[in-house]
Amino acid sequence: MSFIEWRMHGPEIANCNCDWGCPCQFNALPTRGDCRAMTAMRIDEGHFGTVDLSGLKWVGMFAWPGAIHEGGGEAFVVIDSLANEAQRSALLTILSGGETEPGATIFNVFATVIDTLHEPVFLPITFEVDIEARTGKVHVPGIIDTQAEPIRNPVSGEELRVQVMLPRGFEYRQAEFASGNTAATGPVGLEWGGRHAHVATLDLSTHGAA
């Protein structure tokens, strides 16, 4: 089967409601029984066929009543207001798992366990990240605020650095783990502080993570 060739390369910030480390990274059940998460990306280099995606950003908000693999999830996506119609269509196709080898990316996998896909919106997105420092923020006015910072030793207050490598990962191959806070309103509400976050450089394509 032939697909439209696409690629997105750039930094990611993710934050979920699980404790630091996130059991999902290790095929374990979520800390609190359900999974709620946000993910955001700035595309430094990207395309969908002949459509240039470089410089655009997107944010996704997700919720499942139990573990992700049990299904019943919902998703809400914000696309950069700078995107034109062709770019909007391309990004929505990628984020919904289209034009992708089965199981090759997190978007394609999530598409099989999401029952409700809320209508996307197109708004300005603030995205800042320093992967080595494990810091970053995502802001969409009236929708979501996320901040990431290093995990700290509860006794000394010193920063703890944790790197995780997933040689066959469908989201990232290497990530820096952090602590994150998120407040989101809208179709998929999110609210927590001091929970698992990770920052990474993504290089995703039709054929998976590089």
The answer to the question of residue 209 being in a domain is: no
pLDDT along the chain (210 residues), means of 10: 95 98 96 98 98 98 98 98 98 98 98 98 98 98 98 97 97 98 97 98 97
Establish if 1 belongs to a structural domain: no
d(CA 122, CA 77): 9
Q: List the one residue out of 170, 67, 77, 58 whose CA is nearest residue 113.
A: 67
Cα angle: 97, vertex 103, 104; to 5 degrees: 80
pLDDT for res 1: 75
Q: Give the chain's end-to-end CA distance (angstroms, integer).
A: 21
pLDDT of 73 reads: 98
The two three-digit tokens of residue 113, written as one number: 């366990």
Phi-psi region of 26 (alpha: psi -120 to 50; beta: other; left: phi over 0): alpha
Residue 205 to residue 80: CA distance in whole angstroms: 20
Domains held by the chain: number: 1
Asked if the structure places residue 21 within a domain, the reply is: yes
- Whether residue 94 is contained in a domain is answered as yes
Question: Domain limits at 112?
Answer: 6-200
Is 11 within a domain? yes
Give the residues across from 66 on adjacent strands.
none
* 208 lies in some domain: no
Cα gap 40→53, rounded to integer Å: 15
Is residue 194 one of the residues assigned to a domain?
A: yes
Residue 39 lies in a domain: yes
